[in-house]
Structure formats: C-alpha cells, structure tokens
Structure 1
Amino acid sequence: MLYTHATILTLNPSRDIIVDGAILVQRDTIADIGKSDVLIQRYITGVDEGTKEEERNLEGRIIIPGLISTHVHTAQTLLRGAADDLELVSWLCERIWVLQGNFTPEDGYAAARISIAEMLKTGTTCFLESMFADRYGFDGLCKAVEESGIRGCLGKIVMDSGKYAGDPKWAMHPGLIENRETSLLGALKMHERWDGAANGRIKVWFGARTPGGVSDDLYREMTALSHEKNIPITMHCAEVAADRAYFASLNHTPMSYCSSVDLLGPSTVLVHMVHLDDSDIAALARTNTHVAHCPTSNAKLASGIARVPDLLNAGVNVGLGTDGAPCNNTNDLFQEMKLAGIIHKAQSMDPTLVPAETVLEMATINGARALGLHDTIGSLEVGKKADFVAVDVRKVGMQPVYSPVSAVVYSATGRDVDLVVVDGRVVVEGGVLLSMDEEAVWREAQRRGHEVVERAGLGAKVKSRWPMK
C-alpha cells in the first residue's frame, strides 16, 4: 500500500516533516518514504500495470509514528472510575488491591482486551504492561495482544512480600500475594512460552514490585537473570513521599538503593520517579536507565510532579505512560502528551520548558528507546516496522494548523485518530477498530467489571457520591 498526500512527522534523526508526503508499506516494513509526487511516479504512474502499488489518499491527515506507552496496567481498565479522588495508599489498599485480588483469569483477559482496544483506537501501537499478576492469567494477556495486532512488552509481576514500602499497615489483598516460585519463576516460564511470539510483537519482561514488596535477595536474583537471559525490567519507584521515606530508613536514596541491588541500566524502565534528588538524576544518566513519566496519574493521586526538565537536561531518556485507568480514567496517550507539555510550565512558571517537540519525542522515539526497540519502531524511516497513525485534522477542533507538531500535542485527542497501522496491518480505519469486535469487548468488560466489584464487596463504595434516582 502507498499512503499519499499526508503531512508526515518522521521523528527521524533530522526530525524531518514531509509536507504532501507518502509512505510505501511492503509487508510489515516501511519500504520508501518521501514526497507524494515522487513516490506516485515511482510506484504507480511510472510502472507497468502489473507492478503498480495500491494507493490510499490521506489528504488532511498528519501521520506520526505509532505512540508508545511506557507504563500501562491493562488489568486496571476493568476498574475505571472505581477509585476516584483518593491518594495512592488508600487508593491501593482500600480499593484497587481489594478489587484486583478478586480477579479471575477471564476477568484479566477481558481487561486486557478493552485496554488494547482503547489504545489502538487512540493511536498507541506499542505498550509496556507494568505488573501483570499471576491470577489475571498471563496467557490471556498474550492471547489478547496476539489477536488484536498491537505490539506489547509484557511485565509479569515479581514479588515476595505483600507490603507497601515495608509498612505492615499497607498490606496487599491476600489474593494478590505471590512468592518467588509463582512470580519470578512464573515470569521465566512465560518468557520461554511467549517471548517473540506474534511475529515478534510480544516481548516478556520482569515487572518487579516497588521496593518494600521485593526482598533484596529476590531483586538480585532477578537482575542476574535479566543480564543472563536478556529480559528487561520495569518497576515503580519513588512515586510517593512514603517511598522516599522507606529508602531513607535503609540509609539510601531511591537510586542508591536501586544500584545496591543492580537494578540500574539500559534494560530497566523505572516508573513515576517523582521524589528524586540531584544524585539520583545523575545516577540515572550515568547508567542509561530509562524513566516512564505519568503526569496524569501523579497529579490525580496527588503524588507530586516528576522533575522531568531536570531529567531531560541531564540526558536521561524519558518516555510517557498513561498508568492505569483507575488513576487516569483513560488510556489515551494524546491526552497524556498535552498534560506532559503543560504541567511543568505551570510548576516552573517557564513556558519554554518541555516544548511540544520534546513531548512528541517522549511518546514515540524515546519510548522505543526505553523498550529497546528504537532500531525497529519509534520513527518513520525506511527499513523500520510500519507502525504509524494518521490524525484527521479536517475538523473544527483542529483547524487552522500552523505547526503540525503543536496540533498533534496540544489540540488532538485519541478521538481524532483516523488510521492505525501496526506491523503493516491496518487495525483501525476511519476511526473504526478492525482487529477486534469493539462492542463485544466493552460489553464483556462492563459485565465483568461490575461482577468484580460485587465479588469484592465494594459495590456501595464505588457508586456515585451524588444520589442516582
């Protein structure tokens, strides 16, 4: 297929923007990219009838690389809106862990499907699942990725303690507690079974719990296996003040602790990273450790605002993530881009910090780099995978367009996504999800979400605070 007459934000090393551009896709790969008139001549009008490429006119669209979410909890989409307006520890201990502790594998599969459906429809073509518990059914998550056509890096939970930040008052629901055999060894089994499946779209990661939920010995065993078997690691870290206090109780800063158990390095994505000092930022830069920035979750849970301008200035690679639906209420990375572009301006009173171009890099090529996939996705270049998104700007909420980058970051939402291609396959066309039965997906999620709430005995707590008559 030759996609023509679009404005293309390549995110290539020169950050070229091609006006009236075209992309030739052959199988799962970008075979050519350039001006529409040149590629039309090369592949349609200037060749024999039998060798002509099919053309798809994308006039009025902006093509960007597929968005990459570096932090998602797919299971939690089943709990969207079930824990609003709570700070993190109450949110976890009184609602989310209780609800998730009542999941079945069938619930986990339904949750994965609605998460993936929403991500695809809103332009996310690759995601990093942070911590999928054994009880959710990891096989079902992989099956959902395989069926849907999305690209997924899937973190299987690693833990051996049911506490948060080492505090027994913040205990996990018993249904979520796993030991070394179930978590770490289970992750190894899933890696053997699924890593590289679905034409390479599935990668299996270690999804370590936050420090305080994993013993030092288990961390060290996991990091040794990570090096030996080339299994990347993702982990929440320094999200709330309680995390920082826990590190201090061990005579550590967040990154000195992570260094002590060999967590830092280019195969690790640390999530949130709100409560850091200067030495932590220097350690991240020195070790090439990646950071996933989740501004909406951090704001909604009142966790604080990550020092993203300082991280970027130090040379730390920062990607974007939506986190889970109960602390964001959406898996739409366009909305996350907008907040990432404005929240640091408000905090610093400097409108030049984290400009739109930087935000788009965070959501594409930086995310690909964090996942170790920058040689294959994250930018639109010949030889890379055909993962891209067309944003429709033929709308009153998008016009006029002066800078296409500004339009994508500050004006667009996921509802403006017209076309999504992953691995060369069209999975969304005209805003319609093609790879899944969307209505069946949301109806199943609606039913199972309510069943989980009732099973957990929280039906009265998750309802509207205003009377519903």
Structure 2
Amino acid sequence: MLFTNATILTMNERRDIITDGGVVIEGNRITQVGKANDLALAHPEQERVDLGGKLLIPGLIDTHVHLAQAMIRGCADEYELIPWLCDRIWVLQGNYTERDGYASARLCMAEMLKSGTTTFLEAMLAHRYGFDGIAQAVEESGIRACLGGIVMDVGTYATQTAAMHPGMIESRETSLLGVLKMHEKWHGRLNDRLHVWFGPRTPGGVTPELYREMSDHARERNMGITMHLAEVKADREFLQAEYGLSPVRYAESVGLLGKKSVMVHMVWLDDDDMALLAKTGTHVSYNPSSNAKLGSGICDVPRLLARGVNVSLGCDGAPANNDYDMIREMKFGTLIQKAVTRDPKVLSAETMLEMATIRGARALGLEHAIGSIEVGKKADFAVIDLDRPHTAPAFNPVSSLVYAATGGDVDTVVVDGRIVVAGGKLLSMNEDEVIAEAKKHAAQVYRRANIPAGPRWPVI
C-alpha cells in the first residue's frame, strides 16, 4: 500500500520533514519513505491512499494509561490524590466485574485510536478486570499494547492505613502469579502487538520481599516494570520514615530500576534521585494534566532531560485527566513547564513531540520497531488534518500539531499495517456499540458502589 501526498514528520535521527511525501508499506512494515512522485513511479501498480496534503506522524505512544478508568470519567473532580483514591476511585473499581473491565477498555482504546495513539502502556491491570477480556479488546481494536498486571500484597497507601477498598486487594498468589500466567499466555501474541509487563502498586502497597521477588522474575523473563513513584509528597514522607530512603533510592534497593523500567509521575525528586535514574537507565513517564488536576505538583522534566534521563509522555486515567488525548497532553505538558519556570524556552514543541513518539518507544524497549517513520519499522502512524480554522496556516507543522491541534483533528490511523481509523471514523470496532456498552456498565458500577453520578449543581 502506498500513502501519498503528505507532509511527513519522520522523527528519524535527523528529524527530517518530508514535503509532498509518501510511505510504502508491505504487510506490517514500512519499506520506503520519500517523495510521493518518486514512490508512485517506482510502484505504479501499488494500491494508493491519497492523504490530501495532511500531516503524517509516527503513531503516538502513551506511556501511562488506566484502561478501567475510562468509563468513570469525571467521578472525582477537585479531589486530592489520597481521598480521590480512597473515597472514589477504589470504591468504584472495587465493584467492577470482568465485563465492566472489558467495556471500559474498549472505550479507552477507541478514544486513543481516534486521537492518534497507536501504542500504550497500562499501569495496573487488576485481576478483577479480566486480563483475557482486555487482551480480546486489544485484538479487536487493533491497537498495540503493553499491559502491566498489578502486583501487590498490602491494602494500604503510603501514610494511609486500611484505606483500600476490599474489592481491590489482591494477594501475592492472585497478583504476581496471575501476571506470570498471563505473560506465558499472551506475551508476543497478536502479531507481537501485545506485551505483558509487571505493574506493581506504589510503595506501601507491596512488601519489599514481593518487590524483590517480582524484580527477579522480570530479569529472568526480560519483562518490563512500570510503577507510580514520588507522585505526591506523602510518598516521599512515607519512604523516608519507614526506610530512611528517598523514593528512587528505595526503588533501587528492591530492584525496580533499570532500562526495562518506566517510573510514572516522579514529581517529588531531588538531585540524587535524578542522578540515579540516569545512571540506571530508568525511564520516566511525565503526566502533566493528571499531576496538575490533582494538585500533586509538576515533574521537573527539564532537569531530568539535562541529566540524560529518557522522559516520555502519558495521559493517565480519565478521572485524573478526563481524556486520553495525547495531542492535547503535548500542549499542556509544555505550557505548564513554561509557566512554573517563567521561561518560554524551557521545553519546546519539538522536544514534546519526541516525548510522545520516539522517546516513548525507547521507554517501552520498542525503539527498534516503532516511534519514527523509517524503513524497516512497523507501520504505525497517524494522519492529522491541519487545514482547519484553528490550525491553518500550518507553516511549521510541529508548532501547529503541538500548540493548535487536538485529537479531534486526526483523520487516519494505521497500526501494524492495518487502517483502523479513516476519515475520522473508527473501523476496527463499532463506535456506537462501544459507547452504549460503556454507559450501561458505568451506570451499573455506580449503583453497586452507591456513589452518585452527575453534576454538583441542582438538576431540574
């Protein structure tokens, strides 16, 4: 298949931008990238898709997602993190069935695909959500997924005791051993679109012994680890009081750091923490909207990058962000850094786009396969229509994409060589049915949890 007539942000090593560009794919791989006319002459019989001058970019990579939270969007606005978890999120999620988990995952994947995200890293997939059903949703949607199964053995959070809803508490046998079973069953399946990771709970929810056991399994099986860390001040206070260590030093002590690890949020760090992250090759997932909305603080991305730490981008979950739109996340992610530092140059649109593409691929250990438009890489890309009143004229496509566009401007999405969105329409699933099922299951969850859903103002 030959995609022609596009401006291509290749994200290759030189960061080439190709005007009047084209991409040839065979199967699920990119076989040629260049000028559209040259490719058309070389492949006169090839099936063609004319992109009408739109912008073609590597598929966006979201390195922190909670699939189960998509259908409880807006359930806990204006809450701080700990009461947000204890009073709302865990109560709702603790009442999920496997069918609820499946419905929410499909809604989340539909939103991600339609806004240009082709790969994501799920952080803490609880046993009760039904791993097999989530994997089925990955298969149906066509998206590329790294699913982090939850690991835990303690039902507390940092300085809070007896805080976790009983429906969310899992044992070592259910969590750790369950993830290992899912790894054996699903890792590398769906033409290598599905990878299985460990997604342990934050310190306070996992004993040091279980962390070490999990880390040993991860090294033996070359599995990835992703975990929330240093998200709020309470995380730092808890680890200092309990172990006399900073969050990153504690993570190192139980084997969590390394090139196969993505630590999420990382707001409450000091210089020594950052140096250790760089030394160990540990990756960081920056989640600006979530951290800002919950009042947790802002990750010091410029200092991390200056230290040589690879930083990627994540949307987090719908109750903490309210959407899974990586294009909107790029804009907020750079603007908030400029605001807090009072420096307009501190984090550029170009760096932010790297974080959403090639740096995200690096964090997932997939830089060889995705994250840029290059020969030999998998055919994962998104096409954005910048010929709209709020984005035109797009003389600088990077600026227009990061600062002016939204996920609603995505026209076409290709994952693993398959067109899954065309003309802004989802092709891999029935969008109306996905939304209807999510609404039905969400209403059932709210009723079981005895939590009101709706506006705070009077409804007449």
TM-score after normalising by structure 2: 0.99
**Partner of residue 308, structure 1:** 301
Q: Secondary structure at the match of 2:199?
A: strand
* Contact 1:166–1:213 under 8 Å retained in 2: no
Does 2:20 correspond to 1:28? no
* Contact 2:239–2:246 under 8 Å retained in 1: yes
The residue type paired with residue 129 of structure 2 is: Y
The Cα offsets for residues 227-261 of structure 1, whole Å up to 9 and x where unpaired, read as: 00111100000000100101211210111101110
**Partner of residue 19, structure 2:** 19
The Cα offsets for residues 312-368 of structure 1, whole Å up to 9 and x where unpaired, read as: 111100110000000101011111100111110000000001100000000000000
Q: 1:400 aligns with which of 383, 389, 393?
A: 393
Q: 1:82 aligns with which of 75, 82, 90?
A: 75
Q: Secondary structure at the match of 1:154?
A: strand
Does 2:435 correspond to 1:464? no
Matches of 2:194 and 2:415, distance apart in 1: 13
Question: How far is 1:384 from its partner?
Answer: 0.3
The residue type paired with residue 468 of structure 1 is: V
Does 2:178 correspond to 1:186? yes
**Partner of residue 444, structure 1:** 437
Does 2:234 correspond to 1:242? yes
Matches of 2:338 and 2:53, distance apart in 1: 31
Residues 191/166 of structure 1: CA separation in 2 closer, same or farther (3 Å cut)? farther
Question: How far is 1:59 from its partner?
Answer: 2.2
**Partner of residue 292, structure 1:** 285
What's the C-alpha RMSD, in Å, of the aligned pairs? 0.7
Q: Among the aligned pairs, what percent are the same residue? A: 58
The Cα offsets for residues 359-403 of structure 1, whole Å up to 9 and x where unpaired, read as: 000000000000000000000000000000000112111101121
What is the correspondence of 1:85-124 to structure 2 with a 5 Å cutoff? 85-124=78-117
Question: How far is 1:78 from its partner?
Answer: 1.3
**Partner of residue 279, structure 1:** 272
Task: Tell which deviates more after alignment, 154-163 or 395-404.
Answer: 395-404
Question: How far is 1:167 from its partner?
Answer: 2.6
The residue type paired with residue 293 of structure 2 is: K
Does 2:42 correspond to 1:42? yes
Matches of 1:347 and 1:365, distance apart in 2: 26
Q: Secondary structure at the match of 1:258?
A: helix
Matches of 2:78 and 2:313, distance apart in 1: 22
What is the correspondence of 1:210-229 to structure 2 with a 5 Å cutoff? 210-229=202-221
Matches of 1:282 and 1:90, distance apart in 2: 32
* Contact 1:147–1:435 under 8 Å retained in 2: yes
Matches of 2:11 and 2:386, distance apart in 1: 19
Matches of 2:200 and 2:399, distance apart in 1: 36
**Partner of residue 47, structure 1:** none
Structure 2: 5+ residue stretches without partners: none
Q: Secondary structure at the match of 1:168?
A: coil
What is the correspondence of 1:27-426 to structure 2 with a 5 Å cutoff? 27-44=27-44, 52-168=45-161, 171-249=163-241, 250-426=243-419
Matches of 1:408 and 1:353, distance apart in 2: 18
Question: How far is 1:463 from its partner?
Answer: 2.3
* Contact 1:24–1:33 under 8 Å retained in 2: yes
Matches of 2:134 and 2:384, distance apart in 1: 28
Matches of 2:373 and 2:449, distance apart in 1: 46
Matches of 1:360 and 1:18, distance apart in 2: 16
The residue type paired with residue 306 of structure 1 is: C
The residue type paired with residue 351 of structure 1 is: P
The Cα offsets for residues 383-436 of structure 1, whole Å up to 9 and x where unpaired, read as: 000000000112111101121111111111000000000000000000000000
Question: How far is 1:166 from its partner?
Answer: 4.8
* Contact 2:387–2:393 under 8 Å retained in 1: no
Matches of 2:289 and 2:386, distance apart in 1: 25
Aligned residues: 459
* Contact 1:105–1:136 under 8 Å retained in 2: yes
The Cα offsets for residues 262-302 of structure 1, whole Å up to 9 and x where unpaired, read as: 11100000000000000000000000000000000000000
Question: How far is 1:203 from its partner?
Answer: 0.1
* Contact 1:60–1:393 under 8 Å retained in 2: no
Matches of 1:192 and 1:446, distance apart in 2: 33
Matches of 2:385 and 2:40, distance apart in 1: 22
Q: Secondary structure at the match of 1:198?
A: helix
Matches of 1:334 and 1:92, distance apart in 2: 27
The residue type paired with residue 85 of structure 1 is: E
Q: Secondary structure at the match of 1:218?
A: helix
Q: Secondary structure at the match of 1:117?
A: helix
Tell me which stretches of 4 or more aligned residues in structure 1 moved more than 2 Å: none
Q: Secondary structure at the match of 2:63?
A: strand
Task: Tell which deviates more after alignment, 288-297 or 401-410.
Answer: 401-410
Structure 1: 5+ residue stretches without partners: 45-51
**Partner of residue 49, structure 1:** none
The residue type paired with residue 458 of structure 1 is: I
